[in-house]
Amino acid sequence: MHDVNAGRAAEAFATLTASAVLVNPVGLHARPSVKLTQSAKGFAARIEFALAADGPWTDAKSPVKVMRVKAPQGATLHFRVTGPDGEAALAAMLALVRDGFGEA
Amino acid sequence: MTLDRANREKLVRALAGTVIEHADELTSLDQAIGDGDHGLNMKRGFEAVLATLPDLADKSLPEMLKAIGMTLVMKVGGASGPLVGTFFMELGKALPEQPARADLVAATDRAINAVKARGRSEPGQKTLLDVLVPVQAVLANGGDARAIAAEAARAADRTAPMLAIRGRASFLGERSIGHMDPGSRSASLLIGAAVTTLEFEANT
Amino acid sequence: MSSSNSANVGIVIVSHSPKIAEGAADMVRQMVGSAVPLAWTGGDVDGGLGTNVAGILEAIEAAWSPAGVAVLVDLGGAETNSEMAVEMLAEDRRVRVVVCNAPVVEGAVIAATESSGGSSLAAVKRSAEEFYA
């Protein structure tokens, strides 16, 4: 459902990109995955991330897909955000990663 | 067959009695291929049924069967509670107060289908359906109490060489072969007790 | 058993072991937070390993949300008893409770995560079941 709304919004908004390095020791493990997903769900924008600048892209709003990425500490998360609240969404994602999901 | 209050109470006591009497045997069967709680679970359920006497037998046959089913669902636990409980509840929904054999044939058919749906299972998978289905066929063909009880016992025996596909025993795979299915054994005990009490006569 | 008032989809955890059910609920609370109505149940009516319909009905009641309730179960009997419990609910509630085909611990965390974002019951179920896909 989120995807449908985000998809419609995407036509009118530019795609924003930025990256951040995973600093917390466990990387993108279960608990950080949940936090990332929860935060992403708070935005209308389509939010995706990847371990490389050219993908493959993972939907940040899908708990299962985010957990499957299993990115380790030191990995770079590339974000790709499109939507009406894209800037705020991107800032929130980057802050979460750089803060080590509050557990670094 | 007429079912007065005395007969209804006799039926309940016979059903509960056979399960309670064979609880240890059911547990041993379940220890071989399940989690070893079938005897205890069924005994607990039927003790709870007995505890609802004498009021239970004051009810009409359909209401009594529904009440037995509900008690079993609430008290037996495991997968058997919902399966056996569903069978009784569906019989209660389908039977008139004084059923003729045709009513029983139709009601057991309906109850078997409900058990299939509840367990998402079919005969041949080493479950109580492997007793219920062939016994229902004997009932439908006019067999008397002796024939029905004999088929129930034989059908339970026939589950021994089967490979379990549903339920806990399916985790054992090939190792489930060679042991009688505990749920089939308890179904056969219940059927034996019921038909003996009701003194079915051959009807061809 | 615990719960919280919320319009988010409720989560019910059903295990043969009350310790597993409670532990899984603890993980959900710690990882996902308290924005999701949550309840757990485990054990047979005598307190041994098993599940019971009355306990499941109570847990559904405790985790009730107008958005519905997703039930996560462990082994066979837990699923059968949960389906039985759902059928025994009043009709208007029955249509808003689903039993998920997902591993109990992972499924509960994922379902709660999905729910905490305000997703629908169907989306919560789909997400939990994605774990096996």
Q: Which residues of B touch C84 (CB under 8 A)?
A: 73, 81-82, 85-86, 118
Å from B16 to nearest chain C CA?
19
pLDDT of res. B1: 56
The per-residue pLDDT for A12 is: 76
CA distance C17 to chain B (A): 12
**Whole-Å CA distances, C15 to A66, C40, C106:** 26, 8, 13
Tokens coding C12: 């019910």
Query: How confident is the model at residue A10, as a pLDDT?
Result: 47
Q: Is A5 on the interface with C (CB under 8 A)?
A: no
Beta bridge partners of A20: A77
Beta-carbon contacts of A15 under 8 Å, excluding residues fewer than 6 positions away, are A80, A81, A82, A86
Q: How much is the pLDDT for C2?
A: 47
Which one of C51, C53, C73 makes the best mutation probe of the B interface by having the most chain B beta carbons within 10 Å?
A: C53
CB contact under 8 A, C80 and B83: yes
pLDDT of residue C4: 52
Interval A2-41: pLDDT, tens: 455 544 544 678 899 999 999 988 888 888 999 999 999 9
Report pLDDT for C117. 87
B204 within some domain? no
What is the total count of domains within chain B?
1
Per-residue pLDDT, C5: 45
- Indicate whether C115 pLDDT > 80: yes
Average pLDDT per 10 consecutive residues for chain B, totaling 204 residues: 86 97 94 87 96 96 96 89 95 94 96 94 94 96 94 96 79 82 96 89 58
Strand order in the sheet with A46-50: A15-21, A76-82, A46-50, A58-59
And the tokens for B99? 């059923």
Alpha-carbon distance B117 to B187, whole Å? 17
Q: CB distance from B23 to chain C under 8 Å?
A: no
Is residue C33 within 8 A of residue C8, CB to CB? The reply is no
In a domain, B23, yes or no: yes
Mean of all residue pLDDT scores within chain C: 91
> Considering the domain boundaries, does residue B202 fall inside one?
no
The hierarchical CATH code for the domain C10-120 is: 3.40.50.510
Q: Domain range for residue B80?
A: 5-197
| Euclidean distance between CA atoms B183 and C79, whole angstroms | 17
Q: Is C131 on the interface with A (CB under 8 A)?
A: yes
For chain A, which residues make up each domain, given as ranges?
A: 13-102
Burial class (CB in 10 A: 0-12, 13-18, 19+), A4: exposed
Domain membership of residue B138 (yes or no) is yes
Of A1, A40, A67, the CB nearest to C123: A1
B79 located within any domain: yes
Chain A positions in Cβ-Cβ contact with residue C9 (cut-off 8 Å): none
Residue B54 preceded by cis peptide, ω within 30:
yes
Residue B160's identity, in one-letter code, is A
Q: Which CATH superfamily is domain A13-102 in?
A: HPr-like (3.30.1340.10)
Per DSSP, the three-state class of B204 is coil
Q: What's the angle, vertex CA B52, arms to CA B189 and CA B196, rounded to 5?
A: 30
Q: Do B83 and C48 make contact, defined as CB atoms within 8 angstroms?
A: no
Chain A contact present for C119, CB below 8 A: yes
The Cα–Cα gap between B67 and B72 comes to: 9
CATH number reported for the structural domain that contains residue B90 in this entry? 1.25.40.340
* Domain boundaries of chain C, sorted by first residue: 10-120
Stated pTM of the model: 0.77
In the prediction, which pLDDT does B201 show? 63
Mind listing the pLDDT tens digit for each residue in C38-67? 999 999 888 888 899 999 999 999 999 999
The tens digit of pLDDT for each residue in A30-85 reads: 889 999 999 999 999 999 999 999 989 999 999 999 988 888 889 999 999 999 99
